[in-house]
Amino acid sequence: MSKATLGSSHRFRPGFWTAVFGFLFLSFCAVAVIRFSRGLGAVTHLSDQFPWGLWIGFDLLCGVGLAAGAFTLTAVVHLFNLKRFEPIVRPTILTGFLGYAFVIVALLLDLGQPWRIWHAIIYWNPHSVMFEVAWCVMLYTTVLAVEFSPVVFEYFGFQTPARLIHRLITPLVILGVVLSTLHQSSLGSLYLIVPSKLHPLWYSPMLPLHFYISAIGAGIGMVILESYLSQRAFGRQLEMALLEPLARGMVVALGIYGLMRLQAIHRSHAFGSIWNLSYEGRMFIIEFTLSVLLPVFLLSVRRLRENPDWLVGASFMAVLGFVANRLNVSITGMEAASGVRYMPSGMEILVSLGLVATGMAVFAFAVRTFPIFPPGSSEQSPGIREEA
Partner 1 sequence: MGMGLLFDATRCIGCGACSSACKEQNHLPGEVEDHLSAYTWTTVQPREGLNVRRLCMHCEVPTCVSVCPVAALTKTPEGPVVYDASRCMGCRYCMMACPFEVPKYQWDRPVPVVGKCTMCASRLKNGMPTACAEACPVEATVFGKRDDLIWEARRRLREKPGSYVNHIYGLTEAGGTSVLMLSSVPFEKLGLKANLPAEPPALRTWQVLSNIPDFVGVWAVCLYGVHWITARREDVAQVDRKGAGRHGEDRS
| Residue ranges binding partner 1 (CB under 8 A) | 35-42, 46-49, 51-52, 75, 78-81, 111-114, 116-117, 119-120, 123-134, 170, 174-175, 177-178, 181-182, 189-190, 192-197, 205, 208
Nearest in space to 220 (alpha carbons), one of 125, 316, 332, 141:
316
Nearer to partner 1, 175 or 238 (CB): 175
Nearer to partner 1, 132 or 280 (CB): 132
Closest distance between partner 1 and the C-beta of residue 30, in Å? 15
Nearest in space to 105 (alpha carbons), one of 28, 212, 181, 22:
28
Closest distance between partner 1 and the C-beta of residue 329, in Å? 12
Closest distance between partner 1 and the C-beta of residue 368, in Å? 34
Closest distance between partner 1 and the C-beta of residue 199, in Å? 15
Nearer to partner 1, 346 or 375 (CB): 346
DSSP 271-283: THHHHTT-HHHHH
What amino acid occupies position 18?
A: T
Long-range Cβ contacts of 77-81 (<8 Å, 24+ apart): 78/169, 78/170, 78/173, 79/170, 79/173, 79/174, 79/177
Closest distance between partner 1 and the C-beta of residue 323, in Å? 20
DSSP 128-141: -HHHHHHHHHHHHH
Closest distance between partner 1 and the C-beta of residue 176, in Å? 10
Give the CA-trace dihedral at 14, 15, 16, 18, to 10 degrees: -30
Nearer to partner 1, 128 or 263 (CB): 128
* Whether 108 contacts 117, CB under 8 Å: yes
Dihedral (CA of 50, 54, 60, 64) sign: positive
Nearer to partner 1, 15 or 112 (CB): 112
Nearer to partner 1, 78 or 261 (CB): 78
